[in-house]
Amino acid sequence: MGFKDPIGTLAEMFPGASVEEWYPSIPSIRPNGKILTVDAAVELLGNQSETLVTTDDWAAKAGYSPRTLQRIMNSGEIERLLGAHGIELEKRGGRWSLKRTA
C-alpha cells in the first residue's frame, strides 16, 4: 500500500470504485510562450520582407501582456528561434524590426 502501488492503494481505499491509470492529454498542457511568440512574429511579418512592430502589437498577437512578452524576449532564445524561420530580429527604438534573411 502507498506510493509504490497507487492504483492498488486507491482500489483498497475505495472498494467497488473503478480505478484506472490516467494521463493528461497534450492539449491540456500549457503552451510554450516562446513558440507562440515566434508564431506571432511570423504572422506579423506575413509575406513582407521587413516590418516594424511595437511590443504592444506583438504581445497582443501572441496573446500576452507587453510585460510578459518582454520577459520572453529577455530569455535570449527568440532570436535563435526566429533565425530557424529565416527571420532576423533587431530592436529599433520602441519597435522591433522583423526582417527575412532568406
pLDDT at 51: 95
pTM tops 0.85, yes or no: no
Q: Which residues of 16-41 are buried (b: 16+ CB within 10 A; e: fewer)?
A: eeeeeeeeeeeeeeeeebbebbbbbb
pLDDT in tens, 48-94: 999 999 999 999 998 888 998 888 888 888 888 899 889 999 999 88
| Cβ-contact 37, 72 below 8 angstroms | yes
Q: Which pLDDT score, from 0 to 100, does residue 28 have? A: 44
Give the pLDDT score at 102.
66
The CATH fold of domain 31-100: Arc Repressor Mutant, subunit A (1.10.10)
Residue for cell digits 500500500? 1
Q: What pLDDT score does 18 carry? A: 85
* Domain residue limits, the chain: 31-100
> pLDDT of 15-45, one tens digit each?
998 887 776 554 544 556 677 888 999 999 9
**Residues making up the chain, counted from first to last:** 102
Q: What pLDDT sits at residue 29?
A: 44
